[in-house]
Amino acid sequence: MDLTDFEWRLTRPARMKANEFEREGRLKHVIFAQQFTRQLLDKLCVMADMIRELSRSKQGSDDLRRLLSHKRAMLYFTQPSTRTFLSFMAACQILGITCNEVRDPSTSSEMKRESPLDSIRMFSSYFDVIIMRSKLPDFAECCAYLMNELERQERRSVPIVNGGAGTDQHPTQALLDIYTIQRTFQFDHREHAPRSRFHDLRRRYTDLSLGPDRKVYAFCGDLGRGRTVRSLVELLSLFEDVTLYFIAPEHETLKLDVDVRARLVKAGVDLHEFDSLDATIDGVPILEKIDCLYMTRIQREHNSAQQESEIAALDLSHFRLTTDRVARMKSYAPILHPFPRDSVVQEIPTEIDQDPRAMYFRQARNGMWARAALLVHLFDVVDDLYLLYDRAFKEHGEPSPRGR
Ligand code: NCD
């Protein structure tokens, strides 16, 4: 089998493919954001909270480490990664999964002209899950088809988890983004919003609802090639009454992809596009209207020579945060960024980091809990997690940090 064998499957609509990546109502492979349902997202957020709470004590951490101590993971990251790689590794360690990595294909047999699919099949011989990042947008999906084909032949087949596919999708980043939004608008987590602040907010913003529903989200930067945005908007479209603002420079490559736009409109999302953070809507500055701001960097590594000079000529100051701009935002509106931020362009200058709305470092840490929850789901040990949690917080009469 080689990659061309799977070509015809790639162009099918996401909902057709999604069934093939599930087993008995549970995800087997995680390839794109459209595989998640609202119900699954809610469950994963609860589980991420449970893992976080259990990890606070030595007993809880030891118990968690026994959950999947019989499993091994391959982290196959042939594209640069800091947060996704490390948070998946940390998530594996939390659950006792042994990790191994291949980051540089020149150290693997691909140098001896081994095909990428042969490499993947070899990884599946030694490991129980393959978490991967590739610059090829379809590669993870093809690997999932390979695993399905092996399963059909009753051979060894392991889950494939997409940790970033070219400029296409980054479903687990979107999962941690939803988890961060969910927690921010829970208002009952001390590190996100002290209780006194919550009461103050509820007084000032009487119609502010809990969770991601009924909110205005703004995305700013490289929306055409930012895979985190492409995946997150798919997940946000599952929530009620969301309004999405897209703020991108006037350049075809940087603006929201027409297909993504069409899908969102079809899903009933209220969507508006702007060419500056200072734009207004009905005479009101958009910065004053948004409940959550998602900043992104310009993905220069994807530029062609022509794009390089065209994009260099753009005035990017309209897509940078300043303390003045942040001052105009609602006092609770979180500022998210998948990171890395560009230290030259400075779409978020470091002086914003002190602002209580700067959520990007917590967002990155949330990746660890959200990805651990996803692994618990993939390896079907959800009931064991609940048992651990009940034993730790209910049987000893301790107040449960998270009501279920
Ligand atoms: C993002 C990525 O790799 O797509 N980073 C991440 O995974 N946290 C965003 C980016 O590279 O701009």
Question: Higher pLDDT residue, 208 or 46?
Answer: 46
Ligand 1 neighbourhood includes 339 CB (under 6 angstroms): yes
Ligand 1 neighbourhood includes 297 CB (under 6 angstroms): yes
Q: What pLDDT score was predicted for residue 103?
A: 93
- Residue of 88, 173, 223, 362 best suited for mutating to test ligand 1, as the one with most atoms within 8 Å of CB: 173
- Residue of 161, 170, 296 best suited for mutating to test ligand 1, as the one with most atoms within 8 Å of CB: 170
Q: What pLDDT score was predicted for residue 105?
A: 77
Q: What is the 3-state secondary structure (H, E, C) of 9-70?
A: HHCCCHHHHHHHHEECCEECCECCHHHCCHHHHHHHHHHHHHHHHHCCCHHHHHHHHHHCCC
Q: What pLDDT score was predicted for residue 395?
A: 67
Q: How confident is the model at residue 2 (pLDDT cuts 50, 70, 90)?
A: confident
Ligand 1 neighbourhood includes 169 CB (under 6 angstroms): no
Region 174-198 average pLDDT: 78
Q: What is the DSSP string of 246-262?
A: EE--S-TTTSPPHHHHH
Ligand 1 neighbourhood includes 163 CB (under 6 angstroms): no
Ligand 1 neighbourhood includes 341 CB (under 6 angstroms): no
Look at residue 42 and tell me whether its pLDDT is greater than 80: yes
Q: What pLDDT score was predicted for residue 183?
A: 94
Ligand 1 neighbourhood includes 166 CB (under 6 angstroms): no
Query: Over the stretch 189-201, which tens digit does the pLDDT of each residue have?
Result: 555 555 556 667 7
Ligand 1 neighbourhood includes 121 CB (under 6 angstroms): no
- Residue of 79, 84, 300 best suited for mutating to test ligand 1, as the one with most atoms within 8 Å of CB: 84
Task: Measure 80 CA to ligand 1 centroid, in angstroms.
Answer: 9
Ligand 1 neighbourhood includes 167 CB (under 6 angstroms): no
Q: What pLDDT score was predicted for residue 404?
A: 42
Query: Over the stretch 286-304, which tens digit does the pLDDT of each residue have?
Result: 999 999 999 999 999 999 9
Q: Could you tell me if 160 and 130 are in contact, meaning their C-beta atoms sit under 8 angstroms apart?
A: yes
- Residue of 228, 232, 298, 345 best suited for mutating to test ligand 1, as the one with most atoms within 8 Å of CB: 228
Q: Above pLDDT 70, what percent of the chain?
A: 94
For the chain, which domains are there? 3-168+367-395 (3.40.50.1370), 171-364 (3.40.50.1370)
Q: How confident is the model at residue 242 (pLDDT cuts 50, 70, 90)?
A: very high
Ligand 1 neighbourhood includes 34 CB (under 6 angstroms): no
Tell me the CB-side half-sphere exposure of residue 125, using CA atoms within 13 A: 6
Q: Which atom of ligand 1 is least distant from the CA of 170?
A: 4
Q: What pLDDT score was predicted for residue 403?
A: 43
Q: What pLDDT score was predicted for residue 401?
A: 53
Q: What pLDDT score was predicted for residue 109?
A: 73
Tally of CB atoms within 10 A around 233: 26
Query: Over the stretch 332-391, which tens digit does the pLDDT of each residue have?
Result: 999 999 999 999 999 999 999 999 999 999 999 999 999 999 999 999 999 999 999 999
Region 223-252 average pLDDT: 97
162-180: burial string, b at 16+ Cβ within 10 Å, e else: bbbbbbbbbbbbbbbbbbb
Task: Measure 402 CA to ligand 1 centroid, in angstroms.
Answer: 30
Q: What pLDDT score was predicted for residue 377?
A: 98
Q: How confident is the model at residue 397 (pLDDT cuts 50, 70, 90)?
A: low
Give the predicted TM-score (pTM) of the model.
Answer: 0.95
For the chain, give the mean pLDDT: 93
Token pair for 67: 């959950």
Query: Over the stretch 136-173, which tens digit does the pLDDT of each residue have?
Result: 999 999 999 999 999 999 999 999 999 999 999 999 99
Ligand 1 neighbourhood includes 134 CB (under 6 angstroms): no
Give Cα separations from 16 to 11, 223, 233 (angstroms). 10, 26, 19
Nearest Cα to Cα of residue 186 among 326, 387, 362: 362
DSSP summary character for residue 291: S
Look at residue 216 and tell me whether its pLDDT is greater than 50: yes
Q: How confident is the model at residue 400 (pLDDT cuts 50, 70, 90)?
A: low
Question: Higher pLDDT residue, 74 or 5?
Answer: 74
Ligand 1 neighbourhood includes 133 CB (under 6 angstroms): no
- Residue of 88, 89, 232, 339 best suited for mutating to test ligand 1, as the one with most atoms within 8 Å of CB: 339
